[in-house]
Amino acid sequence: MSLYREARQGRRWVLAALGVGLVVGLLAGFACGRASSDSSPSLERAIADLRSRSGTASDALELLSIEYPQAVRDGRVVAATEYSAVERDLATARSTIADIRLELELLAPTDAESVAERLEGLAALVRRRAAAATVIREAQAATEALRRATRAS
């Protein structure tokens, strides 16, 4: 009879060890999964962040469109304060696009190039004190190119 009892007790030890190993493995897997999910952003989260950051440039271009007609008439600056604000808005848009340019190029290379070109053209128009309608049209085109670039996914 003692042989029968020893065999049963051996099976219990094996089953207990397997159970403990399974629980430890599950806990380790859960901990690793939680740690990695918070540290590496998903593509969806990265695109949402890019869209949020691009909003700064869009907002600056919108302000520029409002302030420029108040600042420039007939090729002359008529409101220096407004013109300074236009230059700041343009600098903000350009700086923001420079900061996110790599992400834009990865997401939508053609649209990213279009945004950069539009901003350069807009800067030239502002320096030349072009007609307000032309500056507004270029600012809107830059904003639209930025929207296309951040919607490509």
Task: List own/partner pairs for 66-72 with CB under 8 A and 24 or more apart.
Answer: 68/126, 68/132, 68/135, 68/136, 68/139, 69/132, 69/136, 72/129, 72/130, 72/132, 72/135
The count of structural domains within the chain is: 2
Q: Are residues 46 and 36 in the same domain?
A: no
The reply to whether 58 and 26 lie within a common domain is: no
Task: Specify the pTM.
Answer: 0.70
pLDDT the model gives residue 33: 65
Residues 136-148: pLDDT tens digits? 999 999 999 999 9
Strand spans (E) along the chain: 72-73, 76-77
CATH number at 97 reads: 1.20.120
Same domain as 147, residue 99 = yes
Give yes or no: residues 28 and 46 share one domain.
Answer: no
